[in-house]
Structure 1
Amino acid sequence: MKKLERARWRCRRGLLELDIVLQRFMDEYYAKLDEAELGQFETLLDLPDNDLWDMITLKETGNGNLQPVLRLLQKV
């Protein structure tokens, strides 16, 4: 449960668009992620807002290891 609360807190970002996407992702997909995907999500949350937003909006491809979670973020 603490992991979920911590992730929700980390999803609060400076870009409104990013906040919206991350909150929707949390509501729809977070509970279904396996350990590897949770690690990918944590790595994505470590990125600066603009870099993460560029990856979600396909302006940058990013690390291939992050693609499974990144694809889920792009669906929201």
Structure 2
Amino acid sequence: MKSQEELNRLFWHSRRGMLELDVLLVPFLKEAFNDLSEADQDRYEKLLTCEDQDMFAWFMRKEVPEDPDLARIVDIIVNRVQPD
């Protein structure tokens, strides 16, 4: 379980300044992050270190992350918004 301080830090890192990312990441953090396994929470934190342009391409399904951890968390986020 993350402390409130850690969640606040994640919230500010989830606000990217690109509307397309903000509308995915901020609600995901608020509504789904706490239900993730610790490993998936770590993957989310790793995702936040990536470049906005890369994340945008991944979320729009134009590219797939080479890193399997990043691919997993991208899939979790996208499937939450667009279930199969």
Same fold (TM over 0.5): yes
Contact 1:55–1:61 under 8 Å retained in 2:
yes
In terms of mean alpha carbon deviation, does 52-61 or 63-72 score higher? Answer: 63-72
SS at match of 2:28: helix
Q: Bigger relative contact order, structure 1 or 2, given CA contacts below 8 A and separation 6+?
A: 1
Give the aligned partner of residue 39 of structure 1: 42
**Structure label with greater radius of gyration:** 2
Aligned counterpart, 2:61: 58
Which blocks of at least 5 consecutive residues in structure 1 are unaligned?
Answer: none
- Mapping of 1:1-76 within 5 angstroms? 1-62=4-65, 63-74=67-78, 75-76=80-81
Partner-residue secondary structure (3-state), 1:47:
coil
Matched length: 76
Shift of 1:8: 0.4
- Work out whether residues 54 and 60 of structure 1, in 8 Å CA contact, stay in contact via their aligned partners in 2: yes
% identical aligned pairs: 33
**Could you state the TM-score of these two structures normalised by the residue count of structure 1?**
0.87
Root mean square deviation of aligned Cα: 1.3
> What is the TM-score when the length of structure 2 is the normalising length?
0.80
